[in-house]
Amino acid sequence: MPQEGKLTFQNHHKQLPAPYVIYADFEALTTKVEGLELDPTKSNTQRTQHHEACSYCYVVVRCDGKTEAPAEYRGRGAAEHFLRALQVEERGIQKVLAKPQAMRMTRADWESHRTASRCHVCDKPLEGDSVKDHCHITGKYRGAAHSACNLKLRLSPKTTTIPVVFHNLRGYDSHLLMQAISKVEGRMSCIPNNTEKYISFSLGQVRFIDSAQFLQASLDKLVSANKPEAFHITARYEPEAFHITARYEPDRALLMRKGVYPYEYMDSWERFEETQLPPKEDFYSKLTGANISDSDYTHAQRVWETFGCQTLGNCTDLYCRTDVLLLADVFENFRKTSQKQYGLDPANYYTSPGLSWDALLKKTRVELELLTDYDQHLFIEKGMRGGISMVSKRHARANNPAVEGYDPEKPNNHILYLDANNLYGWAMSQPLPTGGFRWVEDCDGLVGTIKDQPADGPEGFILEVDLEYPQKLHDEHNAYPLAPERMVVQKKWMSEYQQGLLGCRGRKTGPQPPRQEPLRAPLPQPPALLGTRYEAEKDTPRPALRAESLDGALHSDEHRAEKAGH
């Protein structure tokens, strides 16, 4: 259990924009592999292709938006070549960080510092402890800060990470990198998702992250969600794309979309020397089981002609470079939005949940009391629910004038499909407990107290109750029982049909691992009512968690014996 205390926002250094971010992408040859006859009872995996990294492109973006020309390579050993190129970039960036720029202040900066009363880092009163904070990369003055806060933002060559952003790193590019990373010297660490996929991994101070962990959509959809004028980096290195709009696509520039590429056609190094675009049928993908559309093929032809591609190698380079520049613009716009709304840089995080958690703590300034009572922790953990989120009626018949076979003698009815989205998000936006947890010693009159509590009141209750589930409701609620309970379903509670299903599948019908199941009636002696009361300070999210029986009342008994001493 944690030590007594409160959880507040502490990651002030993550407000600082990452000094350098690298955006990258690979292209790969898909060499065909002769399939082997597999035993369907032992394996469901069939090897059909071997992916070999054949080219890469990356662009380095500084915290003030400045970039250098994209670095490109096409040839054998592309993944290993890429890692060594990143190590060169790492050493160059560390040299820059080792020589911070001197602070430059304008007259407005001096006036702002003179009148500042709160630290721009932690937003607490300065109270005489004020120093000038500035960007060590550009020398620009950032604001007045406490001396301790200013030290938290210090950039050290040995500790400052350099994010390298891939789109779908976890699902694809990481496999190419992992095959080559053992050939490169350097200290490696990783955060695995499972034995095959990684949330992130690092080589030295270079940290690989996945933009899809923040922006869960295809690159094409992300590009289309941004306005053309937002693509400053792409315009800087692909200026031709912004001069052909009137000729080809009145509403969008030619490269302002995900490109079209014959992935499976590119199965050998000799393909790069071909001097014309392959026919449309060679763009077929076994992975999706579909070919590209006529409009997509026309788009590929226009790109080939407009940018003067002489070989498929030129086309591959253009495709890879465009993807990298578009990704850089998309993620840079996301970073700007996050910094504007929350004062946090996504490049300092691994995934969106980590970013969201810090944004919550920072924006609400909430102080969350840490649970240090083991019984309270188990009490709340036992009450966690989830899993049942859908109910469907197997058969229904509508009867109204708009349907065939309408019977005016029968009551009119309609079939309506309801889809409730973001249930978890809605629940998390309701008043939630923040502290003041303590056991309720006297349960007498607790039902009335709970009924008198407003939903947005200053305090609430977490309850463990016995709910009476009348037999008359069982059939009606069969598809979606109320009040699910975390418990082990015993064989004697199952119907003959359920036991038959388990038996015919060869499964044991003895005790099973705990899982969430609907509450069944009748059950053995149920637990007695037990409540814990928590309070919330004024102007903080106020909890309101209540429980009622189906008949509208709580059936309460005395506390359990083991809680009598609390």
| Contact between 258 and 296 (Cβ < 8 Å) | no
Tens digits of residue pLDDT in 215-251 = 999 998 999 888 888 888 887 876 655 544 434 343 3
Tell me how crowded residue 207 is: count the other CB atoms within 10 A of its CB.
21
Q: H-type helices in 78-214, by residue range?
A: 78-98, 107-115, 147-152, 174-181
Cα(first)–Cα(last) distance of the chain, in Å?
Answer: 18
Is a pLDDT exceeding 70 seen at residue 540? no
Q: Token digits for 495? A: 């119907």
Confidence of residue 43 (pLDDT cuts 50, 70, 90): low
Burial status of residue 459 (CB atoms within 10 A of its CB: 0-12, 13-18, 19 or more): middle
> According to the model, what pLDDT value does residue 391 have?
67
Supply the pLDDT for residue 479: 73
pLDDT at 526 over 70: no
pLDDT value at position 492?
A: 85
Tokens 């026919």 label which residue? 279
CA 392 centroid distance within chain: 29
In a 13 Å sphere around the CA of 412, the CA atoms on its Cβ side amount to 5
Residue 297 neighbours by CB distance under 10 Å:
18
Q: 482-514: per-residue pLDDT in tens? A: 877 767 788 888 888 888 888 754 444 444 444
Structural domains of the chain ordered from first start? 19-34+46-99+164-218 (3.30.420.10), 107-152 (no CATH), 220-340 (no CATH)
All residues at 6 or more sequence positions from 243 whose CB lies less than 8 Å from its CB, including other chains: none
Q: What share of the chain is helix, strand, coil (3-state, %, to 5)?
A: 35, 15, 50
Given a cut of 80, whether residue 37 has pLDDT beyond it is no
pLDDT at 494 (0 to 100): 85
Coil, strand or helix: which one is 276? coil
Residue 149 has a pLDDT of 93
State the chain's mean pLDDT as an integer.
82
Q: Is a pLDDT exceeding 60 seen at residue 532? A: no
Taking the C-alpha atoms of residue 432 and residue 460, their distance in angstroms, rounded to an integer, is 9
Q: Phi and psi of 463, rounded to 5°? A: -120, 145
Tens digits of residue pLDDT in 387-437: 666 667 778 899 999 999 999 999 999 998 888 888 888 888 888 888 888
Q: What is the pLDDT of residues 12-23, one digit of tens each?
A: 999 999 999 999
Q: Tens digit of pLDDT for each residue in 69-116? A: 899 999 999 999 999 999 999 999 999 999 999 999 999 999 999 999
Across 457-468, average pLDDT: 84
Is the pLDDT assigned to residue 364 strictly greater than 60? yes
Q: Summarize the confidence of residues 178-207 as an average pLDDT.
A: 91
